[in-house]
Amino acid sequence: MEQVDLNDLLLELEDQILLLQRLAKDAKLDLRLKQRAEGYRKVQKAKRVVSEISSLLNELEAELNERQE
């Protein structure tokens, strides 16, 4: 009888290990998705900064051209 209980415990332990492995895999995937989203946000912010700098440079160039005329 005790042998059956040990086998049941081993089966339950194996199920728990498989569940933990799946949870770890899901957590890894979630982390990767969050990192991609963060990277995307950083790229978008950099694009806005570059656009703003470009706009300011265009304004400066226009002002220089006006002064030279």
Residue-wise pLDDT tens digits, 19-65:
999 999 999 999 999 999 999 999 999 999 999 999 999 999 999 99
Q: Which residue has the higher pLDDT, 68 or 4?
A: 68
Cα–Cα distances in angstroms (integers) from residue 12 to residues 1, 6, 15, 25, 45, in the given order: 17, 10, 5, 20, 49
Label residue 6 by pLDDT band (50, 70, 90).
Answer: confident
Instruction: Report domain extents, the chain.
Output: 4-65
Tokens at 35, concatenated: 């990192």
Q: Which residue has the higher pLDDT, 11 or 3?
A: 11
Residues in the chain: 69
Instruction: Record the pTM.
Output: 0.60
